[in-house]
Amino acid sequence: MSQPSQQDEIMAEEAGLRQEAAGIEPVSEARGLSQGQIVRKRFLGHSGAIVGLVVFAVIFVMAFTSVGYAGIPGWWKYTHEAVSPLVNDGAPTASLWPLAWGEHPFGQDRIGRDLFAMTMRGAQQSITIMVVIGLIAGLVGVVVGALSGYFRGWMEAVLMRLTDVIIIVPALLLAAVMAQLAGRRDEGSWFASFASSNGVLALGIFLGLISWVGLARLMRGEFLTLREREFVDAARISGASNARIIFKHILPNAVGVLIVNVTLTMSAAILTETALSYLGVGVKSPDTSLGLLISQNQEAFATRPWLFWFPGLFIVLICLSINFIGDGLRDAFDPRQKKFNAKKAKDADAAIPEKTPVAALDSRADDGRTAGGDRGA
């Protein structure tokens, strides 16, 4: 409970799924629009998500263009490793009035490295970790979830037990092992040599390889529900292969849940990286990450606060924007969720003739086995 994990969120989501809404109401805004159009429209209508998207885009562009990436030089004059003479005793030179950027806008650390460059490099690293984790967790999660949910039987049994094992192995321990492997460069294994030159990428891959479990459970739940639906039967009768059914028919219907939870996993990933760097098993200096920067400089909190505030600000900004984007996506992808207004709902309900709850429960009874199957497996 050190950090509310996205894991929990995914589990709750999963729990929520088990009691899916009864009949899906016709959504008025859906008329004449494709799913993509509806989602886009709803997403663009979510002001929090739009602000989040803009903020994230700005940070992304700034981080990757300013100090350069993968050997391509950036427009900022310093790199995160270059040492330059201390200006103004390392205090930030940027000022709001008169608006000036100065030599070291965010200040310098004690040996004279430019904090702006370091923060940008850190943001790069954090974003990289985030994206890598999102990709890997999404990919593995979908594959495992889809296979076990679609084929069931022994495949499900094996994959889900594997998931159970991974879910209870502590992430901290895995990260410690990972950090140990990455720090060991004289052993000559391909992994060590890869990890030592791409520390952050290796960390991301590793964390990605353990954070797919929640997603896999969730996707399995989705697949269990969807594979029993009429359109899947129809496809099967018309001779579609399993692969085709999975990719063309079921997956597009599960993509909402997937995207939403991948974004949430990503925002949790940044915090995981921060926590691991704080505990000394994450990114290692002289390379840097946002988490490492604030944990290195936590003692400077009262004396040289800029070393602490700027990286901290970026962590919070990235995290907030991703969370809001995820929130917007969740609202956009969930066809059942619409603007709910108690008063209006009451009025509207009074006007619209009731659907019989009996029918609703019946339709539920069909999927009822979903949940039951979930437990029984």
Partner 1 sequence: MRFSRISKAVGVAAAAALALSACASTNGGTTPSSNAAGKQGGTATVVEVNAFNTFNPNTADGNTDINSKVSYATHSGFYYIDNQLNIVHNDKFGKMEKTSDDPLTVKYTINEGVKWSDGTPVTAADLLLQWAAFSGYYNDADADGKAGTSYFSYAGDPTGLALTDFPEIGDNNRSMTIKYSKPFADWEIALGGPGIDIPAHVLAKKAGLADTQAFIDHLKSMPRGDAKAPKTADAKLKAMSDMWNTGFDSKTLPSDPSLFLSNGPFVVQSINQDQSLTMVRNKDYNWGPEAKLDEITVRYIGSSPAQVQALKNGEADIIAPQASADTLDQLKALESQGVTVEQGNQLSYDHIDLNYSGPFADKNVREAFMKTVPRKDIVDKIIKKLDPEAKPLDSQLFVPAQPAYDASAQANGSSAYADADVDGAKKLLNGATPEVRIMYNKDNPNRVDAFSLIRESATKAGFKIVDGGLGASDWGKALGKGGYDATIFGWINPGVGVSGVPQIFRTGNGSNFNKFSDPEADKLMDELIVTTDRSKQDDLSKQIDKKIWDSAYGLPLFQSVGVDAYSDRITGVKFMPNQTGVWWNFWEWAEK
Partner 2 sequence: MVTYIVRRLVTAALILLGASFLVYLLTAASGDPLAEFRASSAPNKQQLMDSRSALLDLDTPAPVRYFKWLGGAAQCLVPFTGSCNLGKNIAGQPITDALGHALIQTLTLVTGAAVLAILVGITLGIITALRQYSTLDYGVTFMAFLFFSLPIFWVAVLLKEFGAIGFNNFLRNPEIPLPVSLGVGAVLGAVAVIVAGGDARRKALTGAIVFAAVAAVLIYFSVTQWFKTPGLGPVVIAIAGVGIAFAVTLLTAGLRNRKALQSALIAVGVGLVLYFVVQPLLNQATFLMVVLLAVAAVLIGMVIGYFMGGYDRGQSMRAAAITSFLVGFLIVLDRFMQAWPAYFNNSRVRGRPIATIGAGTPNIEGDFWILGLDSFTHLILPTTALILISLAGYTRFTRASMLEIMNMDYIRTARAKGLTERTVVMRHAFRNALIPVATIVAFDIGGLIGGAVITETVFSVRGMGFLFLDGILHVDPNPVMGVFICVAITAMAFNLIADLAYSALDPRVRVKA
Footprint of partner 1 on this chain (CB under 8 A)? 81-83, 86, 110-113, 179-180, 182-186, 280, 284-286, 296-304
Tell me how far, at minimum, the Cβ of 186 lies from partner 1, in Å.
4
Q: Which residues contact 160 (CB under 8 A, 6 or more apart)?
A: 148, 217, 220, 377
Residue from 2, 34, 238, 303 touching partner 2 (CB under 8 A): that is: 2
* Cα 71–chain centre separation: 27
Q: Which amino acid is at 252?
A: P
Q: Which is nearer to partner 1, 141 or 199 (CB)?
A: 199
Tell me how far, at minimum, the Cβ of 103 lies from partner 2, in Å.
28
Tell me how far, at minimum, the Cβ of 253 lies from partner 1, in Å.
46
Q: Which is nearer to partner 1, 35 or 79 (CB)?
A: 79
Question: Contacts with partner 2 in 79-118 (CB under 8 A)?
Answer: none
Listed residue (336, 345, 362, 350) closest to 26, CA to CA: 336
Asked if residues 136 and 205 have their Cβ atoms less than 8 Å apart, the reply is yes
* 3 part of the interface to partner 2, by CB under 8 A: yes
* 312 part of the interface to partner 2, by CB under 8 A: yes
Tell me how far, at minimum, the Cβ of 130 lies from partner 1, in Å.
23
* 41 part of the interface to partner 2, by CB under 8 A: no
Tell me how far, at minimum, the Cβ of 179 lies from partner 1, in Å.
6
113 binds, among partner 2, partner 1, none (CB under 5 to 8 A by kind): partner 1
Residue 131, burial from CB neighbour count under 10 angstroms (0-12, 13-18, 19+)? middle
Q: Which is nearer to partner 1, 46 or 284 (CB)?
A: 284
In angstroms and rounded to an integer, the radius of gyration of the C-alpha atoms of the chain is 24
Bridge partners, 95 (sequence order): 100
Over the window 273 to 302, marking each residue x when it contacts partner 2 by CB under 8 A and - when it does not, the resulting string is -xx--xx-----------x--xx--x--xx
Residue from 180, 193, 241, 285 touching partner 2 (CB under 8 A): that is: 180
| CA pair distance 115, 238, nearest whole angstrom | 62
Q: Which residues of 28-44 are buried (b: 16+ CB within 10 A; e: fewer)?
A: eeeeeeeeeebbeebbe
